[in-house]
Structure 1
Amino acid sequence: MLLWPLLVYGAIVLSLVVLIMGLSYVLGQRHNDRATGQPYEGGIMSAGSARLRFSSQFYLVAMLFVIFDVETVFILAWAIAFRDLGWYGYIGVLVFIMLLVVVLIYEWRNGALDFGPDGKKILRAYKRMLNKPAEK
């Protein structure tokens, strides 16, 4: 079998990991200051629970990112193999792009692209404010 190169590679990787961890342990600094064991994030000491609730808009934006990030990979791979795929590849990528447009319309309708306050509501409130009689 040709499994021995994989085993040799695995042994080399494992030995490098053990070597690096060992050198880190031997050469690294050891100190136990007051704040060493406390979590630290971006210069701010943590307070409260890490269990936060995110709005559904966060997940819609995350879904948009994943969809259009994966789309880039697939279309780049299609572009590289463009001549080999021929018309079947061209039709396939058109179907793929049409599915992406459908997903984009779905996300748009669900409000994933609505960032900030609704502009129409702000204009209505502003008009009401202008039409309101002045208080004395």
Structure 2
Amino acid sequence: MFRFIIFIFFSFLICFIMLLGGWLLGGRSISRSKNIPFESGAIAYGSANLRFSIQFYLLSILFVIFDIESLYLYTWSVNIKIIGWLGFCEVFIFIFTLLLSLIYIINEKIFEWGVKKNNII
């Protein structure tokens, strides 16, 4: 426990020293062009606040979830001889859960990007 406290203390100390060093040794200049964003030599114009549909965010989250799933399945396939039947059953439950979640996503019509019409009378 004592080693852990020393580790945390020195981690914070190193972070503090690095931030203090950057603040003390860093250059300071005040100019009109200092606060203008610089991107590849082009002067920015317009607003950076773009409105995207929520479906883009849903699709990206789903991609991340199923991408991580492939990572787990790869590590399982590499160690299949070591983990045996118990590991096979666990991965079967994992894949079954992901399959159920995919069926739920399809039933909620996440992938249909058309205009939704209200059928309220």
TM-score after normalising by structure 2: 0.65
1:80-119 aligned within 5 A: 81-107=79-105, 110=109, 112=111
Residue identity opposite 1:45 in structure 2: A
Distance 1:46 1:104 in 2: 42
Asked whether 1:63 is paired with 2:71, we answer: no
**Following TM superposition, by how much is the alpha carbon of 1:23 offset from its aligned partner in structure 2, in angstroms?**
1.4
Partner of 1:6: 4
TM-score after normalising by structure 1: 0.60
Q: Secondary structure at the match of 2:32?
A: coil
Q: Secondary structure at the match of 1:36?
A: helix
On the 8 A contact 1:107/1:113 being kept in 2, the answer is: no
Q: Say what the alpha-carbon RMSD is for the aligned residues.
A: 3.2
Residues 86 and 46 from structure 1, CA distance in 2 versus in 1: closer, same or farther, beyond 3 angstroms?
A: farther
Match of 1:36 among 34, 37, 47: 34
- In the alignment of these two chains, the number of paired residues is 111
Q: Secondary structure at the match of 1:35?
A: helix
Residue identity opposite 1:28 in structure 2: G
Gaps of 5+ in 1: 118-136
Distance 1:44 1:112 in 2: 38
Residues 97 and 44 from structure 1, CA distance in 2 versus in 1: closer, same or farther, beyond 3 angstroms?
A: farther
Residues 100 and 41 from structure 1, CA distance in 2 versus in 1: closer, same or farther, beyond 3 angstroms?
A: farther
Q: Secondary structure at the match of 1:88?
A: helix
Residues 60 and 106 from structure 1, CA distance in 2 versus in 1: closer, same or farther, beyond 3 angstroms?
A: farther
Higher gyration radius (CA): 1
